[in-house]
Structure formats: structure tokens, C-alpha cells
A = this chain, B = another copy of it.
């Protein structure tokens, strides 16, 4: 897929007819007030399409699910939307009836502020859990965000900043490609740094096959496109794209109450609508896959305290469930993750994690090796359960880069799985042990 899509700056405003803004409205009630807006991190974003767009979404399968997620799931049924309002600083999770009322007011207030008909707005939130939304600030923020809306990359930058929590940098992408003879664009922004192991579905209900993973700080992704795509076709493409991207990443194995991915397709590129399995669908799918995977990888790379990113590839499993279970066991093992941090090619911990996973494995068949990112040249450290002649120095060199690939072959079947995983560092622990002098951290 490499270099197949030219990346261009501007993310969500690149597709024709999309506007964005990001403002500071003091969601965390730091009390710095409006006067100090300039210095504070923005915390409320709007993404608006000039015309009604088809919409698709994927949501956390956590049974403890935030109010904005519930509101989005309800509104997905129509398959049409025109604006997304997003705040950071407060997840509006575990906030009961007040939380639902607040989420509903956020969409209704946004619709009114933009002069849209009811039901056109969606909402995303991330931040503290268990604290009700500061609705005065939110309303003021929405009003300001509407005023600030614009079509330039600066506006997209502001939106990307406004959705950040513990992220150290905004995460954006946009690509342009030909679809049925027309130039089409997809842009996206996302956030997420800890509580990252999404397991999302289109309804928030947990399919049997979906791994129970574990996000906090939440991952949010908002994708815009000017392609003309029917809502059902768009949902099918998003399901597939998320299955191979956001649902394949883990920072700390924790799945958030708020994980949300939304795609708005306004059709202004003027291509002809297409069916699932058409050649146009394949082109669109491939482009959406690229956008989702690149955004997902940005989340892992910017994970809390993350020093190394490892692509865990499990091949040769009996079933896809087995491949997934083995990959997740390795990707979430505290001992494997600390060894990655230490630059230690410790296959003992890897085979141990494979062995205790729910995957069917046979010790004497397991291969473990390393490759440079994107390389097919594997340095095997273990073949059929036994150490190879690779030297410790060679293996250390293989795990020294900031990113590398871990190859595991179970040699029992044909099923494969991949996970994009992070190491576990002292910085992660230090960051997340929190500051108990700050009562506002109670829920989050």
C-alpha cells in the first residue's frame, strides 16, 4: 500500500465542502476564563459539511458506555449527518440521566447554532469520567466554534488540537485519489494516548468474534470525504477499515467508555455512487483502510510514555480467533512490553505469553523472529521452539529501532493476525499514577 496514496496537508478540510474549528471554552473548569483563551489548549471542535452527508460509525463495545456514544448510536440509524461537535476534558461517561440530557443538548444546541434541522449533529467526548458537563462553557464554546469555522488547514489544526487529551501532538492525515474518474479526498483527525485497546462495533454491541480488549483518554477519530457513498456502503467500508486498524492497536490493553470513529461523506466530489464489491468500492475501501491505519498507528506512536512501537504478526494459527488471541497476549504482556522498552530480545517472555493465551499452540512448532519495519527479511530467534544460531548481538540490533516487526509463526494452520503495540515504560507509570492533589482526577 506504501506510496499508493499521496498524503496532503489539511486533513478534515481537504475534502470539498468541509469546514472545521477548534476553540477553548474551559471544559475542565480551570477557571482561567475567556480572557486567557489564547494560551490554553483548545477543548471544543466542530466539523461541518456544507451539505448533508451520509454517515457511518464504530463505537466502543465497553458495557460502560458514555452518553455521547449512546446519542451517536441512536442517530446512526438515519445514516445522515452534517456536523460533529467534539469536546476534550470531560468524557460525559458515568454521568447518568444528566449526562444523556447534556449530550442531547450538545447536539441540539449545535444544530440550532448552525441553523440545521434537528438530527443532523453527532457528538464525541473524551476526558474525565463521572463529572457532569459544564454546559454553560459548552454552549459558549459551540457559539464561538461556529463563528470560528473555516476552510483552511489552520482550522483543521485547531480541531485536531481541541480533541487532544494526553496526546503530545495532533494527529491528521488527508489523501486524494481517483474514484470512477473523479478526484476524491479523504481526511481524518484522531486522538488517543492511553486507555488504548479499542474493540469497536457499529452498534456498540459486542459481537462474539470481537476480542475483549481493553482505552482511557479514549480514542476518537473523525473522517471526512467528498466521495459520494451510500450510508450502508460507507458502514461496510468502515467496519472493514476499523477491523484492520483501530481495533488492532493497543497501548495499555484498556478499552475506553468513549471510543468512537465517525465518517461523513458529502458526495461533493461528484462521483457516481457504488455498490459493495464494485471496483469503485475496492478503491474506496483501500483508501479508507490507508487513512484509518495511518491514524491508528499515530495513536500508538504517541501513546503515553511510549518509546517503541512493535508490529506483532502472528501467522500459521488454526483459526483467526487463535491468531488474534496469541497476538493480543503478546502485545499486552507486561513482561514482553517492558523487555521491548529495554531493547531486550527476550523470546522466553514471548513464548510464555503465547503459551498462556487462549490460542491453541504447540511449543515445538513455534517460530519467533524480527524484521525491520516493512521488511520481509526475518531474523529468527526461535525455530520450532528452539533457539537459532542468531547471536544475542544480532537480536539486540533487531529490537533496537524505535519501530520493528515481531514475527510469530505457530505453524498449525493458515490464519493470521496483526497487532500494533507499544512498550511499557516508567513514563507511562509515572503519568498514570496521577496527581492525587487534584480532586478533579477522581473519575478519569
Binding site for B on A (CB under 8 A): 61-65, 91, 93-94, 96, 128-130, 194-195, 199, 212-214, 216, 252-257, 329, 332-335, 338-339, 341-349, 351-358, 360-364, 366, 382, 385-387, 392, 395-396, 424-426, 428-430, 432-436, 439, 441-444
A295-B247 Cα distance, complex, nearest whole Å: 40
Cβ–Cβ contact A429 & B254, under 8 A: no
Copies per complex of this chain: 2
- Chain B residues near A93 (CB, 8 Å)? 348
The distance from the CB of A381 to the nearest CB of chain B, in whole angstroms, is: 8
Cβ–Cβ contact A65 & B334, under 8 A: no
Q: Which 4 A-B residue pairings sit nearest by Cβ, starting from the closest?
A: A64-B355, A342-B433, A129-B348, A348-B443
Cβ–Cβ contact A334 & B254, under 8 A: yes
- Chain B residues near A64 (CB, 8 Å)? 351-352, 354-356, 361, 363, 366, 385
Cβ–Cβ contact B426 & A429, under 8 A: yes
Q: Which residue of B lies closest to A362 (CB)?
A: B63
A-B pairs with beta carbons under 8 Å apart, 16 shown: A62-B352, A64-B361, A96-B386, A129-B349, A212-B356, A212-B357, A335-B432, A342-B433, A342-B435, A343-B436, A346-B434, A346-B441, A347-B443, A396-B436, A426-B426, A426-B429
A346: contacting residue among B214, B329, B425, B442, CB under 8 A:
B442
Q: Which residue of B lies closest to A443 (CB)?
A: B348
A335-B253 Cα distance, complex, nearest whole Å: 9
A356-B346 Cα distance, complex, nearest whole Å: 30
Cβ–Cβ contact A351 & B129, under 8 A: yes
Q: Which residue of B lies closest to A252 (CB)?
A: B334
Cβ–Cβ contact B199 & A356, under 8 A: yes
Cβ–Cβ contact A443 & B387, under 8 A: yes
Cβ–Cβ contact A428 & B334, under 8 A: yes
The answer to whether residues A335 and B252 also contact, given A216-B349, A439-B392 and a CB cut-off of 8 A, is yes
